[in-house]
Structure 1
Amino acid sequence: MLSSYSQAINKQERRTGSLFTQNTRVKDLTPAPVDWEYPATCFHYIHQNPFVASLVTKMEDWEFSSFTNYHQNRNKTLCNQALAKEVLRIDFDNFYDESYKNINPEKILKIW
């Protein structure tokens, strides 16, 4: 994904080169051998970041997040909601409440 994103931004901005620092890492989220909680933890962690950092008072206020797309079940977005619903073990019927639950700090440490 980083490669596709970088290529798109570089094309849009008429530039070349890396957009991210060299220590950017990629972690495979496919079912085996990754713990099934890992993808869902990453998903919620990313959405919670601006909220936890007190950049916003509600997650839906962060304009650069896909949170609102999932919360309001918006179609025609960059988010592949069908894939997320297939891959992530998240109760999307209760997505808003699930998203605001605190993530166990031990799970956050496993992200890195």
Structure 2
Amino acid sequence: MNDERYLIKLFHYIHNNPISHGFTTNIEDWKYSSYQAYTNSKKSSKIERNEMMQYFDTVDNFIEYHKSNVEYDFLLIE
């Protein structure tokens, strides 16, 4: 897997982990996530948004990607 694909899948995994473990049902509601810092550019944050947002054309694209089902093939033990 190339580094870019790995990175954005890992990003998806981290942001969706609270849902996977039953801490919340909605990614937008988890206050401990950096997800909101990426979706709301007017919100004050220490997150360097531009680093990760360069992999998505728009914020809407970022949101849709996080709503999609992603295979975490990097977790498979060979």
**What 5-or-longer segments of structure 2 have no aligned partner?**
none
Q: How many residues align?
A: 75
Could you list the structure 1 runs, at least 4 aligned residues long, displaced by more than 4 angstroms after superposition: none
User: 2:66 aligns to what?
Assistant: 99
User: 2:27 aligns to what?
Assistant: 59
**Closer, same or farther: CA 55–44 of 1 in aligned 2, 3 Å:** same
For normalisation by structure 2, the TM-score amounts to 0.77
User: Percentage identity across aligned positions?
Assistant: 28
Question: Is residue 9–residue 72 contact of structure 2 (8 Å, CA) maintained in 1?
Answer: no
SS at 2:3 equivalent: coil
SS at 2:64 equivalent: helix
Higher relative contact order (CA 8 A, sep 6+): 2
**What 5-or-longer segments of structure 1 have no aligned partner?**
1-33
Once the two structures are superposed, residues 87-107 of structure 1 have per-residue CA deviations (whole angstroms, 9 ceiling, x without a partner) of xx2343322111111111324
**Closer, same or farther: CA 103–39 of 1 in aligned 2, 3 Å:** same
Distance (whole Å) between structure 1 residues aligned to residue 53 and residue 20 of structure 2: 24
User: 1:42 aligns to what?
Assistant: 10
Question: Is residue 53–residue 62 contact of structure 2 (8 Å, CA) maintained in 1?
Answer: no
Question: Is residue 41–residue 103 contact of structure 1 (8 Å, CA) maintained in 2?
Answer: yes
